[in-house]
Chain A
Amino acid sequence: DAGITQSPRYKITETGRQVTLMCHQTWSHSYMFWYRQDLGHGLRLIYYSAAADITDKGEVPDGYVVSRSKTENFPLTLESATRSQTSVYFCASSPAQVYEQYFGPGTRLTVT
């Protein structure tokens, strides 16, 4: 299917474990983003990428790692999950020179 997908949609993990959230887009958009959504905070940018092999930190990058070896994929890794990383994570993409972002359906992550 065309568009932007995230997997898994739901994940429960334990404190200290590594977990990777996947994001895939079929539009060949240059930009990709990871956000977390928490009550009272709206959406906060974790990392973004302007192109393959180019990534940069957002507002709340600590505890997260990203990579972008291919334009269409932008995985987000929690190297050692903490309870404070329990959240809903959204991936988004955007064409170059256009500011609108297109969002995936989200991944609900619970860290116990």
Chain B
Amino acid sequence: GEDVEQSLFLSVREGDSSVINCTYTDSSSTYLYWYKQEPGAGLQLLTYIFSNMDMKQDQRLTVLLNKKDKHLSLRIADTQTGDSAIYFCAESIKTGANNLFFGTGTRLTVIP
């Protein structure tokens, strides 16, 4: 089965960069996603990367994909207190259904 793993917690100081890591096991992933969950809210799609790409940059967000090691990371530059949230990585695979497989989520705490 699909297994997506993340560390549970990360703390950074405001203004520093945050790097959230994710590993997955299914080599047939098509897209990999990062979602953000703020307290008391649902998940919001932050960004995604196609499995044949190595990197994607979107303003303060940089996604790196190492397909050989099945490792995905999300770097947030100049982290702000508003970035405090839970971040989920997710993968989609070619199953014929639109299913996503989510990691456990990483709680990012930004210290002022």
Contact = CB atoms under 8 A, between A and B. Distances in A.
Interface of A: 31, 33, 35, 40-43, 45, 48, 50, 56, 58, 90, 92, 94, 96, 98-106
Interface in B72-112: 88, 92, 97-100, 102-105
A90 B100 CA distance: 14
> Helix, strand, loop or mixed for chain A's interface?
strand
Contacts of B105: 42-43
A89 B102 CA distance: 15
Given A40-B104, A45-B99, A100 B42 contact: no
Interface in B1-42: 4, 6, 8, 30-31, 33, 35, 40-42
Nearest to B6: A42
Nearest 7 pairs between A and B by C-beta?
A103-B42, A42-B104, A99-B92, A43-B102, A103-B43, A31-B98, A94-B98
Given A99-B92, A100-B48, A103-B43, A50 B103 contact: no
Contacts, number: 58
Given A40-B104, A56-B97, A104-B42, 20 more contacts: A31-B97, A33-B99, A42-B4, A42-B102, A42-B105, A50-B97, A58-B99, A90-B43, A92-B42, A94-B98, A99-B30, A99-B31, A100-B33, A100-B48, A102-B45, A103-B42, A105-B41, A105-B42, A106-B40, A106-B41
Given A40-B104, A99-B92, A100-B33, A48 B99 contact: yes
Interface residues of B, number: 24
Contacts of A48: 97-99
Nearest to A40: B104
Contacts of B35: 103
Contacts of B31: 99
Interface string B35-65: 1000011111100100000000000000000
Contacts of A94: 98
Nearest to A97: B98
Nearest to B32: A99
Contacts of B102: 35, 42-43
